[in-house]
Amino acid sequence: MTFVAKQWVFLPVVGVLSLFLQPFALGNPQVPCYFIFGDSQDDNGNNNYLNTTAKANYPPYGIDFPEGPTGRFTNGRNQADFIAELLGFEGYMPPFANIKGQDITKGVNYASAASGILDQTGRQLGDIVSLNQQLQNHRRVTSQLVRLIGNEAATKEYLAKCLYTFAIGSNDYIDSYLLPEYYPTSRLCTPRQFARMLIKEYSQQLRKLYRLGARKIAIFGLGFLGCVPGLLSIDGTCVDSLNSEVQLFNEELKPLVDELNTELSSAHFIYVNVTAITLSTMPAVSAGQCIPGQIPCSNRNQYYFWDDFHPSEIVYEASSRLAYSALSSLLNAYPFGIGSLADTDSREKLEIQ
């Protein structure tokens, strides 16, 4: 893979990505609601009014999004937007920061840029909404849903049909473990110990969501952080040691999914293999977080990275489609893809018959 960092350089993405800019078949959504937990991959405005540098509500972010800069860390739609479209929703899930009234019945996006599994992650950048805080926000939303729906039993039945996605953990490395000047974690834990510490906390958080009524939950693994433009080595090549450290975390996710599915009644957890999905495309690079008002390249659909850390819209579409369809269940997702996860009620009825 070829990478050039610290300047605006654009190299073409492999031609297969051009096949993904196809219209979506919108209709009756597969699930009644969709809830998103995560970081800047999915943030659509939750950080806009926080005292933090981790925000993207200014140009050229959103240059290809109908509403312009909204807080999405890319040129157009992000991962959560594409999954919502694939599920059949006509609109996107509102950020928690902006929810009003019955907005919550279709779902909520809680994702916050720079956030992580650990509460400490990203704090050097200012205020962020950690995963624990995102779960607290969801608890508030479920309480509101009880009032809207009328009773707790009906609300739990409703929530059990919804889809929940988690795409988080990258910042626990980028904005915690790799910053010894701010956090002592790397001096106290080996990479394997750190990965297991994250998994232990993550398991407790996922169980907490289960107790709030969630039953269909997709967990995204981490990508090749060592090949992200902002983290490349001085000579512009991938940092293999970082990729190896992150893989220690990924290796724990499939066993975690098996454990949760075994121990939690009626639970359906899946693992989305982001590294396998990434290998389905050939990355090229733009580098540097977007500078306010800077003019980006005109052929954005041909490039992998939008800024120093985030993919372009076309890459989010490609990866979302692969996670949804999971044509190779043993490769892209386990034990099946997001589309099948959304249809688990129908699958179980067919098996019973």
pLDDT confidence of residue 282: 55
Looking at residue 43, which CATH number applies to its domain? 3.40.50.1110
d(CA 93, CA 221): 22
What the block records as the tokens of 129 is 């909404």
Q: Which of 40, 112, 312, 340 is catalytic?
A: 40
Q: Is 307 annotated in the active site?
A: yes
Q: What is the pLDDT of residue 61?
A: 95
Encoding tokens for residue 221? 């693994």
Which candidate in 39, 64, 176, 310 is catalytic? 310
Spatial CA neighbour of 314 closest among 62, 77, 59: 77
Task: Give residue 331's pLDDT.
Answer: 80
25 falls within a domain: no
Q: Is residue 10 part of a domain?
A: no
Determine, yes or no, domain membership for 11: no
Query: CA 69 → CA 58, 61, 284, 296, distances in Å?
Result: 5, 5, 24, 14
Question: For position 236, what pLDDT does the model report?
Answer: 85
For residue 9, count other CB atoms closer than 10 A to its CB.
19
Query: End-to-end alpha-carbon separation of the chain, Å?
Result: 49
Range of the domain at 147: 34-351
Q: Are strands 163-167 and 34-38 parallel, antiparallel or unpaired?
A: parallel
Give every residue of the chain whose pLDDT is below 70, as ranges. Answer: 1-27, 281-293, 327-330, 346-353
The answer to whether residue 343 is domain-embedded is yes
CA distance 331 to 203: 23
Residue 223 domain flag: yes
Helices 240-263 and 191-211, packing angle to 10 deg: 30
H or E stretch including 334?
strand 333-334
Percent of the chain with pLDDT over 70: 85
Q: What tens digit of pLDDT does each residue of 31-90 get?
A: 999 999 999 999 999 999 999 999 999 999 999 999 999 999 999 999 999 999 999 999
Question: How many domains does the chain divide into?
Answer: 1
Look up 103 and say whether it is catalytic. no
Identify whether 169 is part of a domain.
yes
* From 42, 64, 172, 307, the catalytic residue: 307
Q: Which of 273, 118, 129, 111 is nearest to 205 (CA)?
A: 118
pLDDT of residue 13: 45
Nearest to 135 by CA among 102, 98, 170, 110: 110
Residue 19 is assigned to a structural domain of this protein: no
Q: Is the peptide bond before 60 cis (omega within 30 degrees of 0)?
A: yes
| 191 part of a folded domain | yes
Pairing mode of beta strands 268-272, 333-334: antiparallel
